[in-house]
Structure 1
Amino acid sequence: MMAMQEQPALCFPLLVNTSCRRTQRLPSVVALSYMLLSVISLITFTLNLLVIISISHFKELHTPTNLLLLSLAASDFLVGFLMLFQIFLLDGCWFFGDVMCVVDYILGYVITSASIGSMVLISVDRYVAICDPLHYPIKVTQIRVKMCVFLCWSASLVFNCLYFFESLKQPGKSNTCVGECMIVVAAGMTDLFFSFIGPLIVIVFLYVRVFVVAMSHARATRSHVGIVTLRGSAIKSSELKAARTLGVVVVVLIVCILPYFCITISKQDVSLNVSSAAFIICLFYFNSCLNPLIYAIFYPWFRKSIKLIVTLQILKPDSSQTSIM
């Protein structure tokens, strides 16, 4: 009778002696958690797909800055897919095998590293556009941006595959029971610096410089000076607006990922149970849902392109030539 009573609390009831135990919660809490995270995953998946289609289809949107947004949207789109696996982990059970566990970890790190790398590139793009507008068209070209995006994703893939190489050779070696997805790697401060602290310092430094120039522009405008001239070239109001919008994106990113890295830095992750860790990772991933919502609020072209996509206007001949801006 005792064995029969314990079986419902196991990930694999037939493996009584080796199965992991499920995290016990109220049925209403379980249903609400699954529904909420499923909706967030669907929204993340759908909205970022709309961003990808918009920038890829409409030729007017083929600018260096939007190519960087496309890279960010691609990583956010994949995050929407990965969130489905984290939803299954909310009850403390992994049903997809040891190899898929390692693959899930690698994909998560590759995608988030590429996302942070794209944020760094966006910060550099805005810095050059605002602080050196005269040379921006020369320094920031589509070819150079495409090369930077390619290197960003390639470096993320190679680094994280090497990082999890031992886990790939022996998947499941860190698991203590069947149904667990646990990978232990020697994450030192060097890895943490290159994956988070270093990029964050670069992003903050560049946006502080952009903010100072933007404030100078605002003061000059209020003083009826007309335009701000920096190194002999006027700063366009559209560039300042883009900088403010992408600044909001950066702030939201920091807020969403800070809890995860604070726990990693303090080395308190070992004290978290599986479901709590899954919640923190989902918060990390939630940033990918917010980015396209920010675009919808601040970018009229995104709202217009959504309307054209939803109404299937993009299927018309020469729809890629439609004026969006």
Structure 2
Amino acid sequence: METTWSPNEGTTVTTNTTGDKDENEFDSTTLLILVKVLTVLAIFLCVLLNPLMLVTLRRVTSIQPTTKIFMASLTLSDLCNSLCRIFALTEELAGSWLLGDFLCVVDSVTIYLFNGLGIISLLLSTVDRYIAISRPLRYPSIMTVFRSKIIVFSTWVAMSILCISIFGINSSQIVSLDSRSSHCIAESYDWKRYLSFTLVVIPILSILILYAHIALVARNQARRIAAENQAGNGQGGQRINTRSTTTIIIITGTLIITWMPTVIWLVMNSQNKSETYDSHLAAMFTQALVLSNGSLNVVIYYLRNRDLRQALRGLLSDWYHSLNQRFVH
């Protein structure tokens, strides 16, 4: 309860600031618990599933080698992102940054690096799929194994140089956002905020546009095949396969749900000149959502593929029999 004097009215005005403060603290505590749970779950699933998927990917022979390279890049970036997020997880669990100045810089650089590599790798996989569907006859000559390796290698090198030079030099500091703890904050100038926004928004829009075109091309091809079947055997045309459309909806929907909060946060944070605890907490929440996209990618790109599911079952079966024989004998 706070009492203030109003000079215009000549009266005493009483405001209930204590209740508002308690309510804000309750909201912050609830959000912090949600961030901790979501981050721990996402890291656990990513560290568990992504290495398994990399091994499974090597066993599959029915997938194009170039596609496997882009999928491996996406999976590896998700795995590295989850491993590096352990730095930030210690801050969330301890309530304060305890790892020193150097690891604070490392944490800031890896956030930008592997988030950027994740979204760029997803864009590369989308472009690969778009070429395979729209140019099926020319695809082997357009996207060779050597070119795909050069593209992935160049992307990783360019993103590493960009993030280290821009976000790793005098860009992170340990500051106190409240009276109880200190936090690792990436010092962000206006141009860096705009650059971060651009690096996120342009790939996301490109992916959405490409998948919209992929859905249109796939639907037109299905209609043409159905019409040719109807003309050839005189029977009714086959029903258009909606599985590819469902996959596209799942991919784009997951992308929007996990990445759109980051876009919104970048837009809102660009108007703030100083970091607050609430904005820092919001940033941790958006990062937890992006991190969860790493485990969702496993479901979308691996477990929904029949050949990959069969390879995974074969891998787990081989491991089970190997362990069983070792313990029996």
- Tell me the TM-score normalized by structure 1: 0.74
Match of 1:299 in 2: 305
Tell me by how many angstroms 1:244 deviates.
6.4
Match of 1:132 among 130, 135, 141: 135
Q: How does 1:52-201 map to 2 (within 5 A)?
A: 52-61=54-63, 63-90=65-92, 92-167=95-170, 172=173, 175-176=175-176, 179-188=182-191, 190-192=194-196, 194-201=198-205
- Determine what percentage of the aligned residue pairs are the same residue: 23
CA-atom RMSD in angstroms: 3.4
CA deviation vs aligned residue, 1:242-283 (integer Å, no higher than 9, x gap): 786466334412320111111112326745343332122111
Match of 2:295 in 1: 289
Tell me by how many angstroms 1:182 deviates.
0.9
SS in 1 for 2:98: coil
CA deviation vs aligned residue, 1:137-166 (integer Å, no higher than 9, x gap): 110111111110001111110110111243
Higher relative contact order (CA 8 A, sep 6+): 1
- Give 1:175's aligned amino acid: V
Unmatched runs of 5 consecutive residues or more in structure 2 = 1-24, 232-239, 323-329
Count of aligned pairs between the two proteins: 281
User: Closer, same or farther in 2 for the Cα pair 1:190/1:90, shift >3 Å?
Assistant: closer
Work out the CA distance in 2 between the residues paired with 1:123 and 1:132: 14
Q: Does the CA-based 8 Å contact 2:53-2:302 persist in structure 1?
A: no
User: Closer, same or farther in 2 for the Cα pair 1:143/1:206, shift >3 Å?
Assistant: same
Unmatched runs of 5 consecutive residues or more in structure 1 = 1-22, 228-236, 317-325
CA deviation vs aligned residue, 1:196-240 (integer Å, no higher than 9, x gap): 22222322232222121112123224435479xxxxxxxxx99x9
Match of 1:213 in 2: 217
Work out the CA distance in 1 between the residues paired with 2:107 and 2:170: 12
- Give 2:156's aligned amino acid: W
Match of 1:276 in 2: 282
Q: Which has the higher strand share?
A: 2
Tell me by how many angstroms 1:28 deviates.
10
- Tell me the TM-score normalized by structure 2: 0.73
Work out the CA distance in 1 between the residues paired with 2:279 and 2:206: 33
CA deviation vs aligned residue, 1:95-150 (integer Å, no higher than 9, x gap): 11111011011111111111111122112112211111121111011111111000
Higher Cα Rg, which structure = 2
Work out the CA distance in 1 between the residues paired with 2:110 and 2:230: 49
- Give 2:306's aligned amino acid: P
SS in 1 for 2:184: coil
User: Closer, same or farther in 2 for the Cα pair 1:137/1:29, shift >3 Å?
Assistant: closer
